[in-house]
């Protein structure tokens, strides 16, 4: 059984690529695909620089992504599927790749969107039709092999030998790469990657993703935010939060400011209180009310205090019990834990 923790680490790896290992691994992937080894290796400091480098390649030949990634992957998937049967394959996927799939896909989607946005602002497309330019950049991105971000699929296979060995070794060594007949463009991994506990991109004090060349993504619990948005977070006031016109950004401001602090400073009153927790409501101009249950963790923190957390519940919630029960997909009358920690 493949080692899921090792692949989790590969998917989240930061810091300089192992360029020597990547070089060897790329050659192995070409040989396994029955192709002649490429003669030119071009390194880029981010997927954005990688896309820019593609345009400067002289006579790279055709893209060999099909031969290098798609075909061996499909063959390996068929082999494992035949070996385990449909139910066994589903089980294998749930135990391995499925754990990494959502978080990795969120990251690669955001990286692609970030590259597209940056390219559209670059001098190269200054006079271009935005739709045409976007289609062109997206096309280039589709030719990429995702290196470390192929981890979810690779995690489902036993890859030390066989058709995927080269692909897997590249994944362990570096980030995205573009294979062509004669040349390869390889990208460095991020130098910084910060996520919240749910695996969503998240950082309050700078970019959530940063590459060595400065290409960066800013995010708050997975939501894309403008670059300068984070710099004003330390000086927030309840008035500033109420005045934010973009409802999504206002939610981010509120979350950062702290529901508890906002509740205290805006004079909000608890709507309902019972043994499961406290229900709060904050009216929001031109947006649905924020309704939250305040829950206390039963297990004390190392310092003996109890961690309190707020969970947002649907705006129609009327009691604390109904709110907590909703978070577990239960009706209020059905929620009755006899022990909680």
Neighbours of 306 (CB within 10 A): 10
Judged by CB, which is closer to other proteins: 288, or 318? Answer: 288
169, 151, 71: which is closest to 104 by C-alpha?
151
Using CA atoms, how far apart are residues 289 and 134, in angstroms rounded to an integer? 37
Stretch 151-170: interaction string toward other proteins, x if CB under 8 A:
--------------------
- Phi, psi (degrees; rounded to nearest 5) at 145: -95, 135
DSSP state of 68: I
CA distances from 8 to 22, 124, 149, 189, 192 (A): 19, 36, 10, 15, 16
Distance in Å, CB of 200 to other proteins, minimum: 9
Distance in Å, CB of 248 to other proteins, minimum: 9
Judged by CB, which is closer to other proteins: 182, or 221? Answer: 221
Distance in Å, CB of 246 to other proteins, minimum: 13
Q: Which two tokens stand for residue 318?
A: 């009327």
Using CA atoms, how far apart are residues 152 and 140, in angstroms rounded to an integer? 22
Distance in Å, CB of 198 to other proteins, minimum: 4
Among 40, 78, 79, 94, which residue sits at the site for other proteins (rule: CB under 8 A)?
A: 94
| Residues 22 and 174 sit within 8 Å (Cβ to Cβ) | yes
Judged by CB, which is closer to other proteins: 121, or 287? Answer: 287
Distance in Å, CB of 329 to other proteins, minimum: 6
Stretch 95-134: interaction string toward other proteins, x if CB under 8 A:
x---x---x-------------------------------
Distance in Å, CB of 252 to other proteins, minimum: 11
Q: Which stretch binds other proteins (CB under 8 A): 34-42, 91-99, 155-163, 257-265?
A: 91-99
Q: How many residues sit close enough to other proteins to count as binding (CB under 8 A)?
A: 41
State which H helix or E strand residue 217 sits in: strand 216-217
| Residues 151 and 11 sit within 8 Å (Cβ to Cβ) | yes
Judged by CB, which is closer to other proteins: 85, or 206? Answer: 85
Tell whether residue 217 is a contact of other proteins (CB under 8 A).
no
Judged by CB, which is closer to other proteins: 6, or 142? Answer: 6
Using CA atoms, how far apart are residues 134 and 120, in angstroms rounded to an integer? 7
Stretch 249-288: interaction string toward other proteins, x if CB under 8 A:
--x-----------------------------------xx
Please, which residues have CB within 8 angstroms of residue 15's CB and are 6 or more apart in sequence? 189, 191
Distance in Å, CB of 25 to other proteins, minimum: 24
- Chain centroid to CA 238: 30
According to CB under 8 A, which residues from 185 to 214 bind other proteins?
Answer: 195-199
State which H helix or E strand residue 278 sits in: strand 277-282
Using CA atoms, how far apart are residues 55 and 16, in angstroms rounded to an integer? 24
Q: Which stretch binds other proteins (CB under 8 A): 94-102, 125-133, 228-236, 256-264?
A: 94-102
Stretch 290-329: interaction string toward other proteins, x if CB under 8 A:
-x-----xxx-----------xxxx-----------xxxx
Using CA atoms, how far apart are residues 246 and 228, in angstroms rounded to an integer? 15
Using CA atoms, how far apart are residues 145 and 156, in angstroms rounded to an integer? 17
DSSP state of 195: B
Judged by CB, which is closer to other proteins: 109, or 121? Answer: 109
At residue 292, the 3 state secondary structure works out as strand
Judged by CB, which is closer to other proteins: 69, or 99? Answer: 99
Binding site for other proteins (CB under 8 A): 1, 3-5, 8, 12, 91-92, 94-95, 99, 103, 195-199, 247, 251, 287-288, 291, 297-299, 311-314, 326-330, 335-341
């Amino acid at each position: 059984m493949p080692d899921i923790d090792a692949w989790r680490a590969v998917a989240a790896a930061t810091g300089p690529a192992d360029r020597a290992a990547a070089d060897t691994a790329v050659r192995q992937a070409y040989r396994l695909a029955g192709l002649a080894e490429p003669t030119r290796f071009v390194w880029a400091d981010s997927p954005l620089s990688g896309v820019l480098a593609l345009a400067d390649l002289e006579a790279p030949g055709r893209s060999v992504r099909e031969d290098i990634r798609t075909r061996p992957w499909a063959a390996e998937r068929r082999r494992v599927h035949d070996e385990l049967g449909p139910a066994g394959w589903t089980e294998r996927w749930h135990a391995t790749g499925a754990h990494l799939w959502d978080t990795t896909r969120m990251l690669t989607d955001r990286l692609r969107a970030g590259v597209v946005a940056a390219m559209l602002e670059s001098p190269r497309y200054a006079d271009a039709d935005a739709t045409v330019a976007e289609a062109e950049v997206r096309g280039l991105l589709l030719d990429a092999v995702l290196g470390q971000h192929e981890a979810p699929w690779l995690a489902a296979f036993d890859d030390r030998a066989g058709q995927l060995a080269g692909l897997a070794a590249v994944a362990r060594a570096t980030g995205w790469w573009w294979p062509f007949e004669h040349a390869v463009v390889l990208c460095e991994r991020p130098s910084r990657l910060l996520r919240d506990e749910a695996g969503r991109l998240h950082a309050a004090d700078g970019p959530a993703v940063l590459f060595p060349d400065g290409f960066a993504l800013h995010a708050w619990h997975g939501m894309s935010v403008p670059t300068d948005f984070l710099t004003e977070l330390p000086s927030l006031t309840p008035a500033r939060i109420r005045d934010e016109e973009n409802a999504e950004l206002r939610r981010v401001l509120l979350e950062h400011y702290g529901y508890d602090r906002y509740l205290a400073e805006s004079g909000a009153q608890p709507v309902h209180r019972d043994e499961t927790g406290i229900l709060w409501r904050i009216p929001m101009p031109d947006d649905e009310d924020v309704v939250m249950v305040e829950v206390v963790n039963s297990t004390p923190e190392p310092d003996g205090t109890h961690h309190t957390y707020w969970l947002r519940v649907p705006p129609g919630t009327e009691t604390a019990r109904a709110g907590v029960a909703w978070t577990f997909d239960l009706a209020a009358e059905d929620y009755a834990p006899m022990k909680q920690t």
